[in-house]
Copies of this chain bind each other. A is one copy, B any other.
Amino acid sequence: MRIGDLAAATGASARSLRYYEEQGLLASDRGPGGQRSYCAADVDRVGLIRSLLGAGLTTATIRDVLPCVADESIRTPWLAARLGAELERVETQIADLHRTRDILAGLVKRYDVDQR
């Protein structure tokens, strides 16, 4: 699987995939000509990376957190704390978003009512 295939399979641009590699989030084998080669599992990995990025984790954080998916032995107390902290951050963010959603929904609803 070459970079273009992985890009097509995941929705990430080739540029982003190279960036993930540069940041240590994604590994690739190199063919004889130096071109990147990926395995099928990397599709899921990229999906996970994008999920976490979308949740506001930074590449540095993801780099710290991702290995424990692949290699269970890497999990240390430090990593557990890190995961916990990120989880808490995401939950706070969800709560904030719910509040914002209610604000927006209230506005939309009020508008609809006025239209009748």
Stretch of A3-11, A14-22, A27-35, A99-107 that contacts chain B:
A99-107
Instruction: Return the contact of A83 from the options B80, B87, B111 (Cβ within 8 A).
Output: B111
0/1 string, A19-58, CB within 8 A of B gives 1: 0000000000000000000000000000010011011010
A54 vs B100: C-alpha distance when bound (angstroms): 9
Interface residues on A, range: 35 or more
Contact check, A83 vs B107: say whether CB atoms are below 8 A apart.
Answer: yes
How far does the Cβ of A31 sit from chain B's closest Cβ, in whole Å? 32
Q: Bits for A58-98, please: 1 = Cβ < 8 Å to B, else 0.
A: 00000001001100100100011001101100110110111
Please name all residues of chain B whose beta carbon is closer than 8 Å to the beta carbon of A115 when the two chains form the complex.
80
Name A residues whose Cβ lies closer than 8 Å to a Cβ of B: 48, 51-52, 54-55, 57, 65, 68-69, 72, 75, 79-80, 83-84, 86-87, 90-91, 93-94, 96-101, 103-105, 107-108, 110-112, 114-115
Q: CB-CB < 8 A to A55: which residues of B?
A: 96-97, 100-101
Alpha-carbon distance A102/B47, docked complex (angstroms):
15
Of the candidates B65, B79, B104, which one forms a contact with A90 in the assembled complex, judged by CB atoms under 8 Å apart? B104
